[in-house]
């Protein structure tokens, strides 16, 4: 028994959870303020270990084992379920703990436990570990992004360089040769196409971190569509146009339109604006449909991920970022971007936004 009053006060105020159990039933002889706090401040002195702690309790098992075996127990950052509020709503706590058998004349008469609460440190460390993990993932994503981007940028640059070199060779070989306007136009057109591709790629790359606003998407896309041989139709209730004029929506629709044109096999493309009135609230919907190559069901989820594509690089250039960016923006606006499509049967992307 500890009966010195100043020692009892010191033990009660100690910045560690201290308890002593005695006798064959391990009846609590003392439990300081910290220890009682872990059990919601319940009165435990005088009660047995089995009365206070359920049989699955980690602490109960440790104390019983030390009592039975006489072997001290110690652990660093041991996890316990504690009940600090005393409501039975258990939470995780981490402790550096020591349990010592108490002996009299060689016989074990009880158990002393001493536990320092290190929950705050463990949780802070876990938070740091998870931030470090996120940072590592961000760095990996950046590296992957840079390698895909540099590979994609090199393709049109190499083609452009070949065209310039071939022009140089022609001029060097026959300095006085006259090129017909058609020949010159064909060569410059070819070079211009590569420059255009570079511009588009750089636009996509910049979109990843910067959202650009701008002119009427549909008008811009109409020019692009006619260059690709597709026609573009806009179906829209008039009152909706003004309301939906946002640069972020512009960016999503321009991604969907350029895909519809790129993968649309030159067939008509339709943009439909509508209002979907639901009891939960009205939503504006923008549907971009094409009659192009379509997307197999097993690729529907994947193509919205970063760098994921369902076509070969040799047939269609691209970074696999447009749909990922578009869905990120749609979700940031509280909306959704969904897809209906079958391989070979065109694709229909629907952007739905709360009004």
Residue 52, both tokens? 């206070």
Number of other CB atoms surrounding residue 196 within 10 Å: 12
184, exposed or middle or buried, with CB in 10 Å at 0-12, 13-18, 19+?
exposed
Q: Could you tell me if 49 and 67 are in contact, meaning their C-beta atoms sit under 8 angstroms apart?
A: no
Give the list of residues 6+ apart from residue 223 with CB closer than 8 angstroms, or none: none
Q: Residue 93 or residue 322: which is nearer to ligand ADP going by CB?
A: 322
Q: Which residues in 316-345 contact ligand ADP (CB under 6 A)? A: 318-324
Using CB under 6 A as the binding rule, whether residue 35 contacts ligand ADP is answered as no
Nearest Cα neighbor of 81 from 67, 95, 71 is: 95
Binding mask 155-184 for ligand ADP (x = CB under 6 A): ------------------------------
Taking the complex as a whole, how short is the minimal distance between the CB of residue 246 and ligand ADP, in angstroms? 20
Q: Which of residues 251-310 bind ligand ADP (CB under 6 A)?
A: 255, 259-260, 263, 290, 292-295, 303, 309-310
Tokens 């919205």 map to which residue?
304
Residue 347 in the binding site for ligand ADP (CB under 6 A) = yes
Q: How far is the CB of 323 from ligand ADP (least distance, A)?
A: 3
Strand stretches in 83-181, DSSP E: 91-104, 107-117
Residues that contact ligand ADP, how many (by CB under 6 A): 21
Q: What H or E segment, with its residue span, contains residue 194?
A: helix 181-209
Nearest distance from residue 36's CB to ligand ADP, in Å? 59
Nearest-approach distance from CB 215 to ligand ADP, in angstroms: 20
Q: Between residues 28 and 263, which has the closer beta carbon with respect to ligand ADP?
A: 263
Q: Report which DSSP code applies to 180.
A: P
CB of 144 to ligand ADP, least distance (A): 15
Instruction: For residues 303 and 320, give the distance between their C-alpha atoms in angstroms, rounded to a whole number.
Output: 7
**By C-beta, is 21 or 194 nearer to ligand ADP?**
194
Non-local (6+) Cβ contacts of 333 within 8 A are 248, 249, 353
CB of 294 to ligand ADP, least distance (A): 6
- Helix 119-173 × helix 181-209 angle, to 10°: 170
**Is 217 one of the binding residues for ligand ADP (CB under 6 A)?**
no
If DSSP codes are grouped into helix, strand and coil, which group holds residue 31?
Answer: strand
Q: How far is the CB of 305 from ligand ADP (least distance, A)?
A: 9
Smallest separation, CB 277 to ligand ADP (Å): 27
**Residue 191 or 317 having the CB closest to ligand ADP:** 317
- Percentage helix, strand, coil for the chain under 3-state DSSP, each rounded to 5: 45, 25, 30
Contact footprint for ligand ADP (CB under 6 A): 255, 259-260, 263, 290, 292-295, 303, 309-311, 318-324, 347
């Amino acid at each position: 028994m500890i009966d010195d009053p100043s020692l009892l006060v010191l033990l009660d105020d100690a910045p560690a959870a201290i308890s002593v159990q005695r006798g064959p039933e391990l009846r609590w002889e003392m439990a300081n303020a910290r220890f009682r706090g872990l059990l919601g401040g319940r009165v435990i002195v005088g009660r047995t270990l089995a009365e206070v702690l359920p049989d699955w309790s980690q602490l109960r098992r440790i104390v019983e084992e030390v009592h039975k075996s006489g072997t001290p127990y110690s652990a660093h950052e041991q996890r316990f379920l504690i009940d600090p509020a005393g409501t039975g709503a258990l939470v995780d706590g981490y402790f550096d703990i020591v349990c010592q058998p108490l002996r009299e004349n060689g016989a074990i008469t009880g158990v002393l436990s001493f536990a320092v609460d290190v929950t705050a440190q463990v949780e802070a460390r876990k938070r740091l570990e998870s931030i470090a993990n996120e940072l590592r993932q961000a760095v990996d994503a950046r590296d992957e992004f840079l390698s895909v981007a540099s590979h994609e940028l090199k393709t049109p640059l190499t083609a452009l360089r070949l065209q310039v070199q071939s022009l140089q060779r022609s001029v060097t070989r026959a300095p006085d040769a006259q090129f017909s306007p058609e020949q010159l136009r064909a060569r410059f057109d070819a070079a211009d196409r590569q420059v255009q591709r570079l511009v588009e790629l750089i636009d996509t790359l910049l979109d990843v971190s910067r959202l650009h606003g701008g002119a009427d998407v549909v008008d811009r896309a109409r020019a692009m569509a006619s260059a690709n041989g597709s026609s573009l139709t806009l179906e829209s209730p008039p009152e909706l146009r003004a309301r939906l004029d946002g640069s972020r929506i512009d960016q999503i629709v321009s991604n969907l339109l350029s895909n519809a044109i790129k993968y649309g096999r030159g067939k008509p493309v339709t943009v439909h604006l509508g209002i979907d009135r639901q009891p939960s609230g009205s939503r504006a919907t923008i549907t971009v449909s094409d009659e192009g190559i379509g997307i197999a069901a097993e690729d529907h989820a994947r193509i919205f991920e970063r760098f994921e594509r369902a076509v070969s690089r040799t047939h269609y250039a691209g970074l696999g970022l447009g749909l990922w960016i578009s869905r990120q923006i749609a979700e940031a606006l509280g909306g959704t971007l969904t897809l209906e499509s079958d391989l070979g049967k065109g694709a229909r992307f629907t952007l739905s936004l709360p009004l």
